Amino acid sequence: MKKAYLVLENGTIFEGKGFGAEGETLGEAVFTTGMTGYQETLTDPSYCGQIIIQTFPMIGNYGVNNEDFEAPESVASGYVVREFCDKPSNFRSTSDIDSFLKEHNIVGIYDIDTRALTRKIRDNGVMNAAITTDISDIDSLLERIKNYSIGNPVDIVSVKEKQFFNVENPKFNVVLFDFGHKHNIRRWLNKLGCNVTICPNTTTAEEIRQLSPDGIMLSNGPGDPADDKISVQTLKDLIPDQIPTFGICLGHQLLALANGARTEKLKYGHRGANQPVKDLTSGRTYITSQNHGYTVVNNSLPKEIGKVSYVNGNDGTCEGIVYTNAPAFTVQFHPEAKGGPLDTGFLFENFIKLMEDNKKG
């Protein structure tokens, strides 16, 4: 394998070996602590524009299959691992991680001390980075790294036109407002008897009203929620309609902004399948899957509009909101991802009950 380098914005250089696609890539370097689920990680649209660092030392041992993708394509900017397995063993495997990266044009680097790299990001915070085979002009490279911006990632990952996923004998019709949804969100809704219409992030409030939905699902997605001003305004316009609403991750943040709350960037985010979340009503702690770099600021939501329902067990940041001005609730974590593995799947059932109660009037 060819020698490659991971160069951080602060000038730190890690030498390793290249795998996956050839070339150079820029992105925001973030780490995820998941011990498994690398295929779901690589196909999660929330990683758009980011260089993913896996803290687990061995990646690729069970290969890749086409059934577990969370999106058709990977939009990650790069991939960093300690060691990758080029001879996977699993009865469902149809390919290997190196071939996957090549197929999706993702530049990767391995033989990196990911423990030291992760500690550096934890100490200094998330920063831009590059994976390259050429560091001969380091000053020019660092300038390009510092000037890198993800841009408008939601516009990249959202569907471009409506998509329809219907079931036999549907109980409800749900609009999935797409900011970069993971497929398992739609699968959960279908499994629970919902017709699902996936709508682009540019969909207006009036266009959603014309679909006469029983409920609205706000999806996950990438980037800074404060940049999605049009979507925030659309959600604000929909509040008077009192449509039952359930938001996940970016959807959680956008609805909070629509209701007057504030968001802020975390030092290094929450990414992985082992994030503890405390239910403030029951006191129970759940193990959850998460992938986000921003959070809703605690106590920034007006008290007459809603209250924080879940907090992160590590840093106390907001992990959920229950609204009193509308039939709506949101969570920062991913209940569809089976972090526990089924700990918070009940939230989808709560959404179904919210729609049932709304129909009863």
For 266-318, write each residue's pLDDT tens digit.
Answer: 999 999 988 999 999 999 999 999 999 999 999 999 999 999 999 999 999 99
pTM for the model stands at 0.96
Above 70 in pLDDT, residue 341?
no
For residue 339, name the pLDDT band (cuts at 50, 70, 90).
low
- CB burial readout 319-336, b (16+ within 10 A) else e: bbbebeebbbbbbbbbbb
Neighbours of 192 (CB within 10 A): 16
Active site residue 249: yes
Above 80 in pLDDT, residue 252?
yes
Above 90 in pLDDT, residue 21?
yes
Active site residue 206: no
- DSSP class per residue in 133-160: S--TTHHHHHHHHHT-----HHHHHS-S
Spot the catalytic one: 181, 252, 292, 334. 334
What number is the average pLDDT over the span 80-103?
Answer: 96
Active site residue 334: yes
Above 70 in pLDDT, residue 110?
yes
What does the pLDDT read at residue 314? 96
* Token representation of residue 133: 């085979």
Above 90 in pLDDT, residue 151?
no
Spot the catalytic one: 249, 270, 292, 319. 249
Spot the catalytic one: 28, 40, 319, 336. 336
What domains are defined for the chain? 3-150 (3.50.30.20), 154-360 (3.40.50.880)
Choice between 291 and 339, residue whose per-residue pLDDT is larger: 291
